[in-house]
Structure 1
Amino acid sequence: MNDSAEYYDEMDEYEPIEGYCFHCRESVEIEDAMPVWTRRGQPATRGSCPICAGTVFRMGKTELHKEQNRPEAIVLEGESTKRNHPKLARDTVYINYAADDEEAAQRIASDLEKSGLAVWLHDHSAEDVNWSSGVHPALKDCSRMVYVLSSNALGDEQVMNAWQFFRGQRKPIVIAQLEQVDPPDPIRRSPRYDVAGDYKSEFRQMLGMLSA
């Protein structure tokens, strides 16, 4: 087999990977797809949209992961409470979301980190963990919250408990809206950004609010 044939065999090794672009509101073939792992050690794929060039993030294992070993997840909610809680950077942003909205939350977190903000993603594996203080230390440490609003989030008790704690501490909450649903009444006046619409514009405005 000649060199050119080997080259095309390598190019055909992986099938195109699709992901949902929240800006274009459609499934697209992810450009420059890269296998990544979330903080909990879950496989995902990150790349760009061929239409708007925005970030596309897809959860789940693909062919791109077959040559990679799963890294150890860092200590998050759900780990032993006897371990030390990792020290968070000043002004860390808490991303509060329902488990079914993880792809959208991961994209927001990734873009915030690229913009220079430290983030903490809520972890839904900690339902049975009882922290000595009654709440996860990250809720105390983080100074701001992004509440990813959807019908899923409205029915999620963990999500509700998190924003209620933040509100009780008088910490700022901004809303990243995925669906046309009303936010909980106590936080209805929080700044709201329709990231399911013009994502780039709404994200920039949200970033400005979080950076103020």
Structure 2
Amino acid sequence: MTDDQRRSDADETSVEAYCVRDRTTVEMLHPTPVWTRQGVPATRGECPICGGVVFRMGNTPAHAEIARPAAIKVATNTRVKLPQETVYLNFAPDDVAIAEQLADDLQKLGVACWLHENDPEDFNWAGGVHPALRECLRMVLLLSPAALTDERVEAAWTFFKTKSKTVHIARISPADPPDDLRRRPRYDFAADYKTAFRQLLQALDG
């Protein structure tokens, strides 16, 4: 089945999703079944209000028509080479939909992004640090209650902090940053996505 056929079939079934830009639930336009980078089923579509990308996590009958991608594992002696301007998006698994949306919005404007990988606990990189953490000089931490309790998220921003790298905080739901990050730049996406996105973009361009 082609992508156009999948979109046509999906369009016949209404799919609702929360648009963080407009802070409301909408019936997405052109819903398309996808798999996230973490191998999680989701539906991707367009917000009828702002035209932005919206996601809804979860399996649907349409996912039966597309193959689930195999989990990608990179050997521990592999070193990724990323442009230093690449932004590392650090987030908890529960926040993958918003992370995907933010990455999509940033990349549309020319900001390269690397999405945090939530690998199994027993998967270790050489030296104990993911190569992307070494290569990237800037991080955006998606702050949420889930992120505050995720050890891998904490390990990532702690590594950045110890290396004196820049950490921006994108507050996506009510939560206070850890004490060690209270002085880092903060943008309230939960209150106003458009304003916070513009502020973050200006900071990343600075």
TM-score calculated relative to the size of structure 2: 0.86
Shift of 1:12: 8.9
Rg (Cα) greater in structure: 1
Select the residue among 113, 123, 135 that pairs with 1:141.
135
1:176-195 equivalences in 2 (<5 Å)? 176-195=170-189
Q: Which residue of 1 aligns with 2:37?
A: 39
CA distance in 2, matches of 1:115, 1:133: 34
Which residue among 190, 193, 202 is the counterpart of 2:196?
A: 202
| Residues 15 and 208 (structure 1), Cα distance of their counterparts in 2 relative to 1, 3 Å cut | same
- Provide the TM-score with structure 1 as the length reference: 0.84
Residue 20 (structure 2) pairs with residue 22 (structure 1): yes
1:85-112 per-position Cα deviation (integer Å, ceiling 9, x unaligned): 4422331111111111111111111111
Any stretches of 5+ residues in structure 1 without a counterpart? 1-9
- Pairwise CA RMSD: 2.2
Separation of aligned partners in 1, 2:10 and 2:163: 54
Alpha-carbon separation, structure 2, partners of 1:86 and 1:37:
23
Where does residue 60 of structure 1 map in the other structure?
Answer: 58
Could you say what secondary structure the match of 1:162 adopts? helix
Given that residues 44 and 56 in structure 2 are in contact (C-alpha distance below 8 angstroms), is that contact kept between their aligned partners in structure 1? yes
Identity level (%): 51
Report the alpha carbon displacement of residue 38 of structure 1 after superposing the two structures with TM.
Answer: 2.3
Answer whether contact 2:10 2:30 (CA < 8 A) is retained. Answer: no
Distance 2:157 2:11 in 1: 45
Please show how residues 167-182 of structure 1 align to structure 2 within 5 Å: 167-182=161-176
Q: Secondary structure at the match of 2:104?
A: helix
Instruction: Summarize the alignment of residues 33-182 of structure 1 with structure 2, pairs less than 5 Å apart.
Output: 33-75=31-73, 79-82=74-77, 84-182=78-176
- Which stretch of the first structure deviates more once superposed, 10-19 or 123-132? 10-19
**Residues 10 and 33 in structure 2, CA contact (< 8 A), matched pair in contact too:** no
* TM-superposed deviation, 1:154: 1.0
Distance 1:62 1:211 in 2: 39
Letter in 1 for 2:66: Q
Higher mean C-alpha displacement, 100-109 vs 140-149: 100-109
Q: Is residue 14–residue 63 contact of structure 1 (8 Å, CA) maintained in 2?
A: no
May I ask how many residue pairs the two structures share in their alignment?
Answer: 199
1:15 CA drift (Å): 1.1
Q: How far apart are the structure 1 equivalents of 2:11 and 2:174?
A: 41
For 2:52 and 2:96, locate their aligned partners in 1 and report how far apart those are by CA, in whole Å: 17
Structure 2: segments with no counterpart, 5+ residues: 1-7
Q: Secondary structure at the match of 1:173?
A: strand
Residue 46 of structure 1 and its aligned partner are, at CA, apart by 2.0
Contact 1:22 / 1:197 at 8 angstroms: preserved in 2?
no
Give the match's secondary structure for 1:133. Answer: helix
Specify the code of the residue in structure 2 equivalent to 1:148: L
1:55 Cα deviation after fit: 2.1
State the one-letter code of the partner of 2:130.
H
Check the 8 A contact 1:177/1:192 in 2, yes or no. yes
CA contact 2:170–2:186 (8 Å) conserved in 1: yes
Deviations 1:123-148 (A, max 9, x none): 11242122221211111011100000
State the 1:192 CA deviation: 0.8
